[in-house]
Structure 1
Amino acid sequence: MSEKTEFRAGFACFVGRPNVGKSTLMNALVGTKVAITSSKPQTTRRAIRGIVHRPDAQLIIVDTPGFHRPRTLLGERLDSLVLSTLSEVDVIGFCIPANEPIGKGDRFITEKLKAVKETPVVAIVTKCDVASREQIVKQLVAVEQLVDFAEEIVPVSAVSGERLDVLTDLLVARLPVSPPLYPEGELTDEPEQVLVAELIREAALEGVRDELPHSIAVVVEEMKPREDRDDLLEIYADIYVERPSQKAIVIGPGGARLKEVGIRARRQIEALLGTHVYLSLHVRVAREWQRDPKMLRRLGFYD
């Protein structure tokens, strides 16, 4: 096999401030939903891997939490997760939205990226479908000035698919020559219980007040086939909040909102797993869990 056709495989990390479209972009490149999305900032709390398969390459995209100045122990751990991921990947995609001016958060991340000297950076101008041509051109100039060390700058839209093929080519070109790292057809290495918990959290985030999203966490306590039915999976999960008043919001009057959360989550889980699901949800209060080391470990956010 000649050098031009040698198979490449490796890791690309998407980084950016909260709510710039990193998860939506990863889902679009993978071709299916492997990361939850929401209009609420800081939806992503884990480094989730999505796998893009091509005849000439295997691109593993690592979607990271939004990078920001932390205000809680959880925030500190998420930022630490992002920093450790940056040093472990083959190429970094720095995501900046086309429809918003460059801000303090973008400059903060730029300074962090400058310290990662060995890893190439591709600047990605996201959300071009909601920006005018004039906005996009202006943002490309601003990004070129901000991230002057980026090897490439590419405008994309995860919604319309615009230039996603160009972005994939740019990322793949920076991967090492390597055999595939995952089996053909595998789209993520996230355990099913984690994916299910994330889908429940996504449903719970829908329509809640701005201060509540950061306080919601989900743990799947049990997943098992029903004894008398092979086609039905029983899932028991706890939704954690920090205060009794938040519990009341999640449950809603007469339990109506929690019921809606369950219906929405069940549909997504059934689509993911390809089986009928019985979903049992309970809302529990864990006071100030974002600042409690023991509770953070219980919820899967390790040191």
Structure 2
Amino acid sequence: MRIARLGPRGAEVPVVLHDDRAHDLRGIAPDVDGAFLGGGGLDRVRDALAAGDLPELEGADALRIGAPIARPGAVYCIGMNYAAHAAESGSAPPERLVMFMKSPNTVQGPDDDVEIPRGSVKTDWEVELGVVIGTRTSYLRSPEDAWAHIAGYVVADDLSERDWQLAESGGQWSKGKSAPGFCPTGPWLVTPDEIDARAVRLRSRVNGDPRQDSSTADLVFGIDRILYELSQVLVLDPGDLVLTGTPEGVALSGRFPYLAAGDVVELEIDGLGRQRHRFVAHEDAPEVAGA
């Protein structure tokens, strides 16, 4: 299934996309959040869809696309999880899982404008496969157990301000990861039965020019290993978002300029859809409220 949230910021309508139509899910749940995912919401959607009980949302094609999950409780990120990206960052591939966090309020729609933070000179793009947690995950017994805890997958842009992340971080990457709008997510949450996320192509473009082009088959730590290791040190709750790392081809490499006002970034992962967001100067940015 493909789950989406359509409508103005803060007033998105949850829908399931089927046969080129958007079916309204408000009769099942008010939103796509941790309570919905952890409470069997996806199973209820499947049953209702099969029974023909879901009304079509009129005018869906004209509505803004919001993030496919409402504000998550946590956004966990894995660093340097592609060997080539680690190399372009000046590092060897990690021997242990590198984790940092983004503020949950960075999550916004896939096509919303993104503000370049005041004073930023090194805003960078990072296409990533996002994993959405479906059930509480703690102390998994093996990596294989991880797959049963996944609600679905999303496209995400782990936007970064590299000076704040590295030169001024004090050793904590999150300082450069949590500016407003720094996690465009979507357009859809795609359930695991629809996609084998272990080997999907992911790409990015800036102003139409190719930047990143890789596959999740090249992950240093695979999806199952990531969730297993995280579960040993923290609890993943339904609705949490885990970003699995970005491949080579970012501005940090020195091969491309950093983002400036007016630039357009496009990201795509096979089977998960495409997002396109424009960057605006701080004084031009709209007020952000909701996802």
Same-fold status (TM-score > 0.5): no
TM-score, with structure 2 as normaliser = 0.23
Higher relative contact order (CA 8 A, sep 6+): 2
Give the structure with the higher percent strand. Answer: 2
Compare CA radii of gyration and give the structure with the larger one: 1
Give the structure with the higher percent helix. Answer: 1
TM-score, with structure 1 as normaliser = 0.22
